[in-house]
Amino acid sequence: MSDPLPPPYPPDNERLADIETYLTVHLTYVRQVRAAEARRCQIQQRTAPPPPPPYRLQRGLDAARAVVRVHLGDSAMAKKAPGVDDLTARRALVEGVEACAVCRPDTELGLIDGWRTSPPLRLRSSGRTAGR
């Protein structure tokens, strides 16, 4: 038979105590670093601003506060305007609300002058066009 491998640690108690102290110090350091990283991640998640809405509706200054312009959500022209989804923005553009000339939300939505830029839908049963 082969000789057994030598033990990985020294046999005397004094050196084992030194190794235990060394490992305890490193374990404490690793735990502190992990706790600090977890706190940093929690703070970052709490303080991260929410993403901007996809579109914004700018309202007029008159008494009616009617919608006057549609903007992209990250447009600097309408930072305080309420955010809306793409369906609401598309509906507003089709109903005649002006698109911002700077950020061009109508192009982003695939609309030009209130009409779709994609080809009209074909009905399978009759071959007539729909959607324009």
pLDDT band at 123 (very low <50, low <70, confident <90, very high): very low
Taking the model in full, what pTM does it have?
0.52
The alpha-helical segments, DSSP class H, found in the chain are 13-47, 86-94, 105-108
| pLDDT higher than 50, residue 120 | no
Asked if pLDDT for residue 132 goes beyond 50, the answer is: no
DSSP characters over 102-130 = TT-HHHHTTEETTEESSPPEEPTTT--EE
- The mean pLDDT of the chain is 82
Which tokens go with 81?
Answer: 């305007």
pLDDT tens per residue, range 95-113: 889 999 999 998 888 886 5
Using one digit for the tens of pLDDT, what is the confidence trace for 70-84? 999 988 888 888 899
Q: Which two tokens stand for residue 83?
A: 């955010």
For residue 121, pLDDT over 60 is answered with no
Interval 38-63: pLDDT, tens: 999 998 888 878 888 899 999 988 88
pLDDT given at position 116? 53
CB 119 within 8 A of CB 129: no
